[in-house]
Chain A
């Protein structure tokens, strides 16, 4: 059930070319680095939600998980002075646990994914605010913080998660490397392993899959665990990228960007469809639109409007293209 990603790719190229024509500075290295960086950060989350959407589920808690992970990481590194690698480990375990909890509630307690993750959205956001008294916090300790003893290691982490690797005159942001590794792993998992096929099967026909002797509950739990895990990684990346975590705002609404990217990238909300490359391109399209609006000089008030319209037109165009292909296939086959 592979959906074509030609449409979304053409959209990416079209916006890219138009922006470059209107403002050639769009193409300068600095802007390209920024574009790659932001696209990678958002694409990591989008990949995570794609797993869940492929099984026919939904995860609305991604933004809050990003926020909570960023908050917990900052508290551990800055205020508690915890060993930096342990702090990273702790936050990743936290995100895995959140995903596992979602999976258990959805499969064993039979609560709808929408409800479970909506409540998660509220609870994790609130926890982040409560842990910090709703005060801004950053992962990099200042001189009078307990974590300052580990400053060298933390600066190392800062480079790992938000640094730039010099490739000649071009500096590749490290989040892009994370995205590359994660998307390769995700693609291999989805396309080359039996579990990946189970996920697609589950999204296409849950009953049928179960009657084929597949433990669908376990597969669903796996999808939610992966989703939260990816959100957790995104949380760490965002914390180091921004150096500033606002408990009430960091990650707010990111679930919608992630879901939009997954859908624009070819995942069907009905489940059973989706490609890793499509989701990555779609996440890049969304960030590209934001960048283009600034580069072209359109009022920032129009950002959401333009984004909404482009996504809508993108999905409609993609549907039409898909139909055309299907028609051609039908006429050519006999």
Chain B
């Protein structure tokens, strides 16, 4: 990478720009292989198989669906609003229950705070597993464990929250300046005392940011959990689409859009206030 030359005042004269270093051959080959895989993927993802006639047919299909969607039907507004409220409630409870558990797991899986390497490895594995398994899959399993309905959805969101907050809380605590904690430890404070009085306050702005992001994220996913029967507005959406009531689906999609936007705006304003104070 060529950088611009800067004349430092007082030093006089130009510092020669660093020369462009040619990357080694294997990097070229890797780039080439990646590009080739991308081209193959165009085929694999079905894009290359589209014929011209298919492409021409797409606008009319979109128009057909949009035509069916408008005007949105307000017939079942009451039931739909009720389901939307449930969706929000699932997200809220999921966060309230998940964040404390996530924090506890984060302490165990933060490299600098963990009591034992084995505990670190295990808690890290749990958090990774909770985070990477998609929430819909959790929902399907939990329906079997706790039955159909919002309970399964709520527990799903608790697990998703643990997975998300567990990772980012741990990262936040690892980044904290170790000074204050060492000072407390030197004065004879217990480990718990050090964590509560030095590490957590320092990581707090980061925690709040993560928690708010998680609230946005869980609100979005709680809107789809209903598709598999785990409560919330998803079931209304699924039914209206499966029965070809696209006008009703339009109402629901619009409602989800408004609520998710609302939550995002709310989180943004809270974040701004927290950051200003901090």
The answer to whether A and B interact is: no
- What is B's interface to A at a CB cutoff of 8 Å? none
- What is A's interface to B at a CB cutoff of 8 Å? none
